[in-house]
Amino acid sequence: MKTYVALFRGINVGGNNVLPMKNLIVLLENIGSKNVKTYIQSGNAVFEHEEEDASLLSSRIRTTIQKSNGFEPQLLLLELEDIERAVGSNPFPEAESEPKTLHLYFLSSRPNNPDLGVLESIKSDGERFALGEGVLYLHAPEGIGRSKLAANIEKVLGVTATGRNWRTVSKVMAMAKE
């Protein structure tokens, strides 16, 4: 059995793409997932599954949700090692004490020729970012609500991304290690 972390994007936001976590647990169990746990309503799940191919499993999960709920969510399915690597490689450890200011944007694939100069030019004076393996780290002490950098990560990098703050990433990793 492999441990997976599912990061859903755009569910339970503003009354759209509603998928209660209790229902998500049942859906994941119905396709063979074991020890399913969720964290907050925005779509974070940890579970074990026999499937070795994360891409196949991701497709199966999205299709199952489409059939039962009428929408196909965006989903980034990571292995425990991916989360551990992202946490262990945090370039801004001093920001961990303010977990709502540190964000990890998990990337669907490796960006081709990312123009980090564009991100540098649109970031605010207080923001810092770093591109790691499969993740873009953003330290935004003023928050990300008005951050031009946060709003343009996918456009500039040319890949789909889903962001989580440090608190959420830490909690999900702890759940996956249980």
- Report d(CA 104, CA 54) in Å as an integer: 20
Residue 92 has pLDDT above 90, yes or no: yes
- Report d(CA 51, CA 32) in Å as an integer: 9
Tokens of 48: 């074990």
Side chain identity at residue 3, one-letter code? T
> For the whole model, what pTM was predicted?
0.93
pLDDT value of residue 157: 96
Sign of CA dihedral 146, 85, 90, 177: positive
pLDDT value of residue 8: 93
Q: Which residues, 6 or more positions from 39, have their beta carbon under 8 angstroms from its beta carbon?
A: 45, 46, 168, 171, 172, 175
Section 22-41 average pLDDT: 95
pLDDT value of residue 35: 97
The mean pLDDT of the chain is: 94
Per-residue model confidence as pLDDT tens digits over 94-152:
999 999 999 999 999 999 989 999 999 999 999 999 999 999 999 999 999 989 999 99
Above pLDDT 70, what percent of the chain? 100
pLDDT value of residue 18: 83
Section 53-80 average pLDDT: 94
Q: Which residues, 6 or more positions from 77, have their beta carbon under 8 angstroms from its beta carbon?
A: 4, 5, 6, 7, 54, 55, 57, 58, 61
Residue 16 has pLDDT above 80, yes or no: no
Query: Helices 21-30 & 54-69, crossing angle to 10 degrees?
Result: 120
pLDDT value of residue 46: 97
> What 3-state class would DSSP assign to 161?
strand
pLDDT band for position 12 (cuts 50, 70, 90): confident
Q: Read off the DSSP letter of residue 110.
A: P
pLDDT band for position 2 (cuts 50, 70, 90): very high
pLDDT value of residue 129: 97
Instruction: Set out the domains of the chain in order of their start, with CATH numbers.
Output: 2-80 (3.30.70.1280), 89-177 (3.30.70.1260)
pLDDT band for position 51 (cuts 50, 70, 90): very high
Which comes out higher in pLDDT, residue 40 or 62?
Answer: 62
